[in-house]
A and B are shown apart, each in its own frame.
Chain A
Amino acid sequence: MTGSLVQHAVLLSVVLFTLGALGVFLRRNVITIFMCIELMLNAVNLAFVAFSRSLGTFDGQVLVFFVMTVAAAEAAVGLAIVIALHRHRDTLDVDSFNLLKW
């Protein structure tokens, strides 16, 4: 019974990860792209918790803890970059950020 629950949790994680990756390609607002990355990180967290449940260990929970820490740091730095970009370009459209393109 729990086995199928774990399996469906991992399947849900796959679908959520794919939706997040698709969102990164489809959306052009840089903040929405950020949120799609958060969605992918959450999908991975779900897989960690499900596998941890399946194996009967607690390592997955510790890894989820670290993923959340990195996500918080990433959100803080990323949103600071977004604010700096908006100040210089007055837009949040990723197509207009092409300074590093040659």
Chain B
Amino acid sequence: MIEQILFYTLAALALVAAIVVIAQRSPIYSAFALIVVLCSLSGIFAILGSPFIAVIQIVVYAGAIMVLFLFVLMLLNVQKEADDPGGSKPLRTAAAALAAVFAAQVGLVIARARFASGPEQYEASTRKVAELLFSPTFLYVFEATSILILAALVGAIVLAKRDL
């Protein structure tokens, strides 16, 4: 019961904050709203039985990635978007209508689907996730990920160099 109350509270919080992210003109406020979304999702992950994912959501997303975003925002001294939407008002309305149709269609399918409730005792603890991650199924993907990180590291340094 307590877990359901917590789930719906966090879900509502995530929804409101997500709307703030896309409705806010100032990127700094968008970034802070996104941090609220990420923290609420972390709580939802914990409720769904994934404590490891909940923790790395906070550490990697809210900690590392969002700090990077805020750092760049402060570095570039970003201003608010101008009020004038640039004469593309019909296109924006069409985008909103298409998004509503998309959400309604997928939502209808999901709402009609029957989901298995899964095992009674379920906890994706760090040990269980790590055992699967380092099993032969995912080991090569994990190694490929390290190459990706290295490439991103070198790429970011090269791109941010002054004389590009």
Q: Do A and B come from one complex?
A: yes
Residues of A within 8 A of B (CB): 1-12, 14-16, 18-23, 25-29, 31-32, 34-36, 38-39, 42, 45-46, 49-50, 52-56, 58-59, 61-62, 64-66, 68-77, 79-84, 86-87, 92-93, 95
State the CA gap A25–B118 with chains docked (Å).
Answer: 37
Assess whether B118 is in contact with A28, with CB atoms less than 8 Å apart.
no
Assess whether A22 is in contact with B152, with CB atoms less than 8 Å apart.
no
Interface residue from A6, A39, A73 paired with B34 (Cβ < 8 Å): A39
* Tally of A-B Cβ pairs under 8 angstroms: 228
Assess whether A49 is in contact with B116, with CB atoms less than 8 Å apart.
no
A14 and B103 in contact, given A55-B118, A70-B148 (Cβ under 8 angstroms) = yes
Residues of A within 8 A of B15 (CB): 12, 15-16, 19
A-B contact pairs, 25 of them (CB 8 A): A1-B117, A5-B3, A6-B118, A7-B113, A10-B110, A16-B37, A18-B106, A21-B99, A21-B102, A31-B69, A32-B81, A35-B31, A36-B22, A45-B53, A46-B45, A54-B115, A56-B116, A64-B53, A65-B133, A70-B148, A72-B64, A80-B157, A82-B72, A82-B76, A83-B75
Interface residues of B in 95-126 (CB under 8 A from A): 95-96, 99-100, 102-103, 106-107, 110-111, 113-119, 122, 124
Assess whether A36 is in contact with B117, with CB atoms less than 8 Å apart.
no
B-side interface residues, number (CB < 8 Å)? 80
Residues of B within 8 A of A80 (CB): 155-157, 159-160
Give chain B nearest CB distance to A19 CB in angstroms: 5
Assess whether A62 is in contact with B73, with CB atoms less than 8 Å apart.
no
Residues of B within 8 A of A65 (CB): 53, 56, 129, 133
Looking at chain A's contact residues, the main secondary structure is: helix
Interface residues of B in 58-99 (CB under 8 A from A): 60-61, 64-65, 68-69, 72-73, 75-76, 78, 81, 86, 92, 95-96, 99
